[in-house]
Amino acid sequence: MDYKFVSRKEEDTLALAQNIESEKFPGMVICLNGELGSGKTIFVKGFAHALGIEENITSPTFNIVKEYKDGEAPLNHMDVYRLEDNTSSFDFDDYFDGEAITIIEWAELVQNSLPEERLELTFKIVDENTRVIVLTPYGKEYEDLCNAVL
């Protein structure tokens, strides 16, 4: 079952991220899809801020992954835009084990390498300020999370 959230301003996207963060659990994987400028990095900023991470959050486009360890839980922030479904160039699967939360921007590009259980958010631009965010949970833990925050 998909869930829909309408964001009418940046603060709405930040609030959604903070609400999802409040239901976090070890090993959580959040996949973000949507065109450039749709709000993916804004979501990551809100999630990281709610975790207590004070560093400036930017897309790790050229690094592929940035690791933040100074919050309530470790956060791996990935931008896989440049991988083109070739995750063999680094230890992609290693990021899905353990305590860290992993958020992946452009996740649709590595669909075949994603864990079976995850939360996918698809950002759709409606106009300059409005976004429709479709949440698709894969697995009971993620379904429970969606029911708790929406």
Q: What is the mean pLDDT of each run of 10 residues along the chain (150 residues)?
A: 96 98 96 96 97 89 86 93 65 80 94 93 97 98 96
DSSP strand pairing (65-68 vs 131-138): unpaired
At 63 the pLDDT is 80
Taken in order of first residue, the domains within the chain and their CATH numbers are 3-149 (3.40.50.300)
CA distance 9 to 54: 22
At 21 the pLDDT is 97
At 86 the pLDDT is 61
Cα-based distances in Å from 82 to 42, 65, 87, 97, 145: 20, 11, 10, 23, 30
At 5 the pLDDT is 98
**Strands ordered across the beta sheet of 131-138:** 3-7, 131-138, 118-125, 29-34, 101-105, 75-79, 65-68
CA distance 60 to 48: 14
Q: Is 34 in a helix, a strand, or coil?
A: strand
At 149 the pLDDT is 95
CA distance 74 to 82: 24
